[in-house]
Amino acid sequence: MNPIYLDYNATTPIDPAVAKAMMPFLQNIFGNPSSTHWYGVEARMAVMDARSQVASLLGCTADEIIFTSGGTEANNLALKGLAMARKNRGNHIITSTIEHPAILKVCEYLARQGFRISRIPVDRYGFVHPEDVAAAITDETILISIMLANNEVGTIQPLQAITDAAHARGVLVHTDASQAVGKIPVRIADLGVDMLTLAGHKIYASKGVGALFVAPGIQLEKQMHGADHELNRRAGTENVPGIVGLGKACEIIETTISQAVVHSRTLRDALQQGLLAAFPSAVVNGHPQKKLPNTLSISFPGCRANVILQNLPGVATSAGAACHATSVTISEVLTAMGLPPEIAMGTLRLSVGRFTTRQDVEKALPLLISAIHQSQEPA
């Protein structure tokens, strides 16, 4: 039997309804959306429909959605595109210490191009305080990029307050919402952001497709050069099956998000309660209230996460630290939160999703408890 899957923050399976929607565009309707014959027109109409579905979920208009090859490309387009388009206005970009590498590595690249990067620290819950962001803004600041929800510990950031502070100084805000969309309601009007990233494979669509919301009037320098696809903002023949799947995935989320929140929180809490009952000294990471309902980052003192995983073939999950014979590599997120190394090295990230069942949790708990017991170092 396959292991019980508790790693939905890493990727999600394709929803059968999404796969069904994609299938015609993998078989009979295979046209290039730029073609003028029937095959092209059908493909183009499907892309237009998907654009409207994504926009509906986010509460924006269809012409504010740009399809990309995934969240990483969307982040690159947002940060590099804005930085290059506005470099005559300033060279300062603000982000946080707990962003995904798809943001931090882009910032490192921009630093090599002469931009100044400020990384705002977080508190012990992984929370970015708006006043710290506001204090970092200068006359040279052109962009702030703060993730909506952290992929490791699930902490949800105060984007509206950050956006208010930024807009008061004429600064634009981007958020990588890849880990938040589909897990909590995400609406542009509630966040006030100017750009937002989402990734298909995090919301039960396929890998290799994503989207970037861009508010009206924002100019971005192209990162993919060629023809005038995607409203002349991202060249390349559209991935029609992937885009159709992304649209269907967003349509499903829009009608089921309330139930999804309750479902995920119920199962996440059952995992947390079961593990804390067995290991009272365990430490739950992330903000106690402002956290994704599906995410449990939990540390087991006296254990090493990679050893736990080695003893856990029946459950698929992630570690917050990689422990080697001569060193321990702890995630940048846990380090930024100030978690002591001796605790951080025993961190697991368990994340549930749409297809997780109560039976999955009931089967996984004894397997997890046994693996953790086996991994405990002698006192």
Residues 6+ apart with CB under 8 A from 71: 100, 102, 176, 178, 197, 198, 199, 202, 210
Tell me the C-alpha distance between 239 and 172, whole Å.
29
Asked if 250 is an active-site residue, the reply is no
Q: Kindly list the distances between the CA atom of residue 78 and the CA atoms of 59, 363, 373, in Å, as whole numbers in the listed order.
A: 19, 42, 45
Chain-centre distance for alpha carbon 232: 26
Q: Single out the residue of 83, 71, 68, 186 nearest to residue 144, CA to CA.
A: 83
Q: Of the listed 60, 107, 303, 323, which one is catalytic?
A: 323
- Beta strands across the sheet bearing 283-285: 283-285, 295-299, 347-351, 318-319
Residues 6+ apart with CB under 8 A from 224: 73, 77, 234, 235, 236
> How many residues make up the chain in this entry?
379
Tokens of 21: 């929607």
Q: Which residues are catalytic?
A: 323
